[in-house]
Structure 1
Amino acid sequence: MVCKNCKVALLEQNNYCPNCGGKVIRKRINFRNLLNDFGAQFLNYDNKFLQTFIALFTQPNDVIGSYIQGTRKKYVNVISYFAIAITLSGLQIFILNKFFPEVLDLSTVTAKGTEDFSKKNLEFINEYQSLVMMLYVPLYALLARLVFLKNKKFNYTELLVIFAYILSQISIISAVITVIFALFGVSIGSMALFLLPLQIIYSAYCLKALYTLSAEGIILKTLMFLVILGVCFFLFAMIMGVFMYYSGDFEKIIEAQKAAKEVSYTISSLINWTS
C-alpha cells in the first residue's frame, strides 16, 4: 500500500503517512464521511479558519502583525482569507436574490424618483462585488498611508495586507448578519445603516492595535480617514454626475422626481378634498 498523496510506501498499521503527514483513507466516500470531513475542516476548534476568524476579533495584531513579520502556519494567509470572504459574500448575494428579493428594495433609504438609479447601482455592486471589494483594498491602503504619513511603521504593501484582512473580516461578518436580518424582513438599506458604524469601529479597532495608538489618537486618525474618504467619494460623485448629465440619466432622475412630487401632491389634494 502506498500513500495516495506522495506515493511513499506505507505499513498496514499506518493511519498517517510518515512522509507527508496525509491521512490514510481506506474506506470509500459516503455521506457520513463527507460530514466528518466537513466538521474536521471547518467546525473543529483547531481549524485555521475558525482560529483566524476569532483572533481577528480578539487579537488582530497577532493575526495581521505576525503575517507581516513572516508567520505563515498559525493562521489562514491573507490571500486565502480574502478568497473565502469573496466566496461567502457571493453566497450571501445569491441567497438574498433567490430567497429574499424583497430586502433588496432601497425605496426606504433613497430619495423619491431615484429608486431606479439606486437599484441599478445595487445590481452593479452585486454583479461585480468581488471586483469592488478588490478595489477598496488599495484605496483604503492609500488613504491610510496618507493619514499615517509621519508614522513609517507599515509601508504601502503591508497596508494592503492589513486592509485585505480587515475588509475580509468585515465582509464575512456582514454576510452572516445580512442573511440573519433578511430572515426578519429587514431591508438591505436599513442593514447598511446598522453595519456601516460597526465597520468603522472595527477598522479603527484593528488599526489601533497595529499602530499601538491611544484612544484619542485613533479617534483623530479615524476622523482624518473619513474626511479624506468623503472627499474621494465627492469627487467620484462629481465625475459620475458629469457622466450622467451627458448620458441623459441625470434628466431621467429629475423627471422621475418631478413625477413623484406630482403624484404626492395629487394624493395629498385628494385626501384634503375627501376630508
Structure 2
Amino acid sequence: MSTCKNCQNQLTPDSDYCNKCGARVIRNRLTFGNLFTHFSEEFLNYDNKLLQTFIALFAKPEAVIRSYISGTRKKYVNVISYFAIAITIAGIQLFILQRFFPEAMSMDSISTEATKEFNLKILEFIQDYQSIAMMLNVPIYALVSKLVFIGEKKFKYNYTEHLVIYMYLLAQLSAIGTVIIVTAAAFDLSLGTTSLILSPIQFIYIGYALKRIFNLDWTNFIMRTLIFICALIAFTVIASIVTGVLMYFNGDFQKMIEAQKAANEAARTVKDTIN
C-alpha cells in the first residue's frame, strides 16, 4: 500500500486524492507531456477556478465577493491568492517594460516643469516598491469605502470585509492594467499617457462593481460615487502633503527646486541664444 507524498497517510490502491490532506495522488514520473497536461488543467480549461474568478469579477463581481465573505469559498480563488497572483503579474509587467520598452517608462505627458521631478520620484518609488504600493492602496480604498457606506443597512460590511472587496477589485484592475499598459507600450505610448486612459477605466469598474455588490439604485449610486471620489481626493491630497513634508526633511524637495531652477536657466540660455 502506498503513502501520500505530502502527509504520509496510507492510501488505497484506487485513490486519486489523499483522504487526509486532499492532495492529488501522483503515480507517474514527471515528463514534459504530463507537466503540460497539469498546467492546462490548472490554468487553461474553462472550469478552472482562476479563469472562473477572472470572468466572474467582470460579469458578476458580487457573486465572488459575497461568496467569500459568507464563507462559500470553493468555487472561486480565495482573495489572498488572487491578490498575490495580481502582484506577480504586476511584477512581470514591470520587467517587460524595463526590458523591452524602456522608453515607455515616462511620465512626461502628464508632467509640467514644476511637477516633472516629483512625478519621476513617484515613478522610481513604484518601480522599487510596486508590491508595497499595491498593498497600501487596499486599506486606503477600504477605509474610504467603509465611510461612504457607513449608513448601508442591507449589506453592512465591516472594515475587514471592505478589505476583501478591494483586494479582489484592485487585483482585477491590476490584471486589466497589465494588458493595457503592455499593449500601449508596444504602440509607443508612454506610461504617463496610458495612466490617463486607465484612470477613468478604474473608476468606472469600481463604480460598476460597488453598484452590484451593494445593489444600489441609480440615485444612491451617483450620490455615493461622488462622495467616494471626493473622499479619495481628500486622502490623495493628504498623502501628497505628507509626502512633500517627508521630501522636505530628507532633502529631496530642495533638490527638486534646484533642478527646476537649472531647467529654467537652461531654457533662458537657449532662448537668448536663438534671439
2:202 corresponds to 1:199: yes
Q: CA deviation at 1:32?
A: 2.0
User: Aligned ranges for residues 38-53 of structure 1 at < 5 Å?
Assistant: 38-53=39-54
Give the structure 1 partner of residue 82 of structure 2.
Answer: 81
**43-52 vs 148-157, greater mean Cα deviation:** 148-157
SS in 1 for 2:55: helix
**Aligned 8 A contact 1:113 1:256 in 2:** no
Distance change (3 Å), C-alpha of 1:3 and 1:238: same
Please give the root-mean-square deviation of Cα atoms over the aligned residues, in Å.
2.2
Paired with 2:216 and 2:17, the residues of 1 have a C-alpha distance of 47
Paired with 2:243 and 2:83, the residues of 1 have a C-alpha distance of 29
Give the structure 2 partner of residue 4 of structure 1.
Answer: 4
Paired with 2:237 and 2:121, the residues of 1 have a C-alpha distance of 19
**249-258 vs 30-39, greater mean Cα deviation:** 249-258
SS in 1 for 2:201: helix
Give the structure 2 partner of residue 264 of structure 1.
Answer: 267
Aligned-residue sequence identity (percent) comes to: 50
User: Aligned ranges for residues 216-231 of structure 1 at < 5 Å?
Assistant: 216-231=219-234
Q: CA deviation at 1:86?
A: 1.1
Q: Give, as a single letter, the amino acid of the residue that structure 2 aligns with 1:170.
A: L
User: Aligned ranges for residues 59-208 of structure 1 at < 5 Å?
Assistant: 59-112=60-113, 114-152=115-153, 153-208=156-211
Distance change (3 Å), C-alpha of 1:246 and 1:27: closer
Q: Give, as a single letter, the amino acid of the residue that structure 1 aligns with 2:238.
A: L
Paired with 1:19 and 1:42, the residues of 2 have a C-alpha distance of 24
SS in 1 for 2:216: coil
Q: CA deviation at 1:34?
A: 1.6
Q: Deviations over 1:240-266 (max 9, x none)?
A: 223333433323323322332333344
**Aligned 8 A contact 1:113 1:258 in 2:** no
Number of paired residues? Answer: 270
Q: Deviations over 1:22-70 (max 9, x none)?
A: 5543432122222111111101011000000000000011100111111
SS in 2 for 1:108: helix
**Aligned 8 A contact 2:9 2:18 in 1:** no
Q: Deviations over 1:110-141 (max 9, x none)?
A: 12264343223212122222222222111111
Structure 1 ranges of 4+ moved more than 4 A: 20-24, 268-271
Structure 2 gap segments, 5+ residues each: none
